[in-house]
Chains A and B, each alone.
Chain A
Amino acid sequence: MSRDNTQALAGTRPAGTPETPAVKVRDVVKFFGQLKVLDGVSLDVMAGQMVAIIGRSGSGKSTLLRCMNGLEDIHSGEIVICGHNVGHGKSNRADLRRDVGMVFQSYNLFPHLTVERNITLALTLVKKKSKAEARQLAEQVLAQVGLADKIASYPEQLSGGQQQRVAIARSLALSPQVILFDEVTSALDPELTVEVLRVMEDLARGGMTMVLVTHEMAFAQRVANQVVFMHKGKVWESGPTKELFASPKTAEFAQFIGTGL
């Protein structure tokens, strides 16, 4: 899919200006009970970039992503995403939801609704689009993820990879400025992973601002502009992808990419 096409379909809008990042995370601390899962995390995501957050299980990367979308509150620090302050209570949720999309590891499609209704639900309820408009948008985003023929299917009739692509389409249909991807291929077979990653790569080429938590090292290395390596609730190492992988500064990161886990 060409760059222009993707951009038009995704309805990508600038998520920030060159000066202000689309996502700004500053000194974020979060506890689960006594356990400090995020220990002073700071990072920036510039508009149009893909940032991959990597690290071992339990390093706090998924929690960080969930905090960015207000699914978890933070203890202290600051998260600003597309100009919305998040992490402290549920204020301004509607504005935040208009600008930020999220895709989950377990797809989380609505099992009782068709693919079409999964996509059009928020379009008609939240964006107040007419049924015809919503249907047209659903067709567009489904074509974008290569599933135009599945519009009338139910989620259970689709493979995991197809369900995940529908989930991405559902998010795209709302024209978010930023999309967060939470280990979206971790539940998929290798061959199904490929089809989901291809869709994400198309989006990245189209200029979508994306933050992903992933275990797909090769994909992160190839497509991400920036990589953030998390360890023990901290940003252990981060920077432009090529530099980071070429010369790891910390033993932990060297070991992490060395073992390929």
Chain B
Amino acid sequence: MIQFGSAHVIYIFEAARWTIVLSLIAFFGGAVLGLLLALARVSRLLILRALSAAYIQTIQGTPLLILLFLSYFGLSLLGYRLAPIVAAGLSLTLYVGAFLGEIWRGCIQAVPRTQWEASDCIGLNRFQQYAYVILPQAVRIATPPTVGFMVQVVKNTSLASVIGFVELTRAGQIVNNSTFQPLVVFLLVAAIYFAICYPLSVASRVLERKFNVAR
């Protein structure tokens, strides 16, 4: 048995960077996909509404773990051998996109109908209505639930450990396997997750207060 030491701590902290990287990929990839999905969900074209709704229903009904298995093991059977980081990034993007799409759809629809009418009556076209009137207001409504959801995503990146991607959780497992100090190791891991998520939670509360006052 190897003694738990500073090298292990450094190893875990280095792996925590990958948790952050994976979270950022998930967020930015998911945000782009989510915005497209949200706009498709409120589109005037039935086909876009139907396709986006079907996508969101499907992904929301699928465990993230299965998405990870499919993109890592499933795609490799089809000849696409993705690196763990790519497979994890892809799965999380697809997953986060579906949820953000649905959250943001609700936020766009929460902007009063009268704002559409007023901006229509001064001659703005649909793109201008979105860009200058509707989306800026939807962003205010969307910020608290989006940040809240990101806290979930940070923790969900731990699932990437099952396809061998060495992020925070996987690093904890590896260290534990050699040191047999699960209590110390996983408390450290939990503390690091907390250190990443807590500022987000605080930010969410602050933003919620701020935007409530502004309305």
Contact = CB atoms under 8 A, between A and B. Distances in A.
B215 A125 contact: no
A97 B122 contact: yes
B74 interface: no
Interface stretch (B15-23, B112-120, B156-164, B167-175): B112-120
A121 B137 contact: no
Nearest to B123: A97
B43 interface: no
Contact of A126 (B114, B124, B136, B215): B124
A108 B214 contact: no
B39 interface: no
Interface string B201-215: 000000000000011
B121 A112 contact: no
Given A104-B117, A112-B136, A174 B122 contact: yes
Nearest to A108: B118
Interface residues of A, number: 24
A111 interface: yes
A261 B137 CA distance: 37
Given A112-B136, A121-B132, A156-B214, A126 B117 contact: no
Contact of B124 (A98, A102, A112, A121): A121
A170 B215 contact: no
Contacts of A100: 121
A102 B214 contact: no
B109 interface: no
A28 B116 CA distance: 25
B123 A122 contact: yes
Interface string A103-117: 010101111100000
B155 interface: no
Contact of A110 (B118, B123, B214): B118
Contacts of A94: 123, 125
**Interface of chain A, main secondary structure:** mixed
Given A110-B115, A121-B132, A102 B121 contact: yes
Given A104-B114, A104-B117, A156-B214, A112 B123 contact: no
Nearest to A90: B120
Contact of B114 (A97, A108, A156): A108
Given A122-B124, A125-B128, A156-B214, A110 B114 contact: no
Given A112-B136, A121-B132, A125-B128, A171 B122 contact: yes
A108 B124 contact: no
Contacts of A106: 114
Contact of A108 (B115, B132, B137): B115
A133 B117 CA distance: 26
B140 interface: yes
A170 B117 CA distance: 14
Interface in B117-163: 117-125, 128, 132-133, 136-137, 140
A97 B120 CA distance: 8
A196 B136 CA distance: 29
Given A111-B215, A112-B136, A125 B124 contact: yes
Interface string B91-120: 000000000000000000000001101111
A125 B118 CA distance: 15
Contact of B121 (A97, A109, A121): A97
B122 A122 contact: yes
A238 interface: no
B140 A110 contact: no
A98 B214 contact: no
9 contacts: A98-B123, A108-B114, A110-B133, A111-B137, A121-B132, A125-B124, A126-B122, A156-B215, A174-B122
Interface of A: 69, 71, 93-94, 97-98, 100-102, 104, 106, 108-112, 121-122, 125-126, 156, 170-171, 174
Interface of B: 114-115, 117-125, 128, 132-133, 136-137, 140, 214-215
5 A-B pairs closest in CB distance: A97-B123, A108-B118, A122-B122, A126-B123, A102-B121
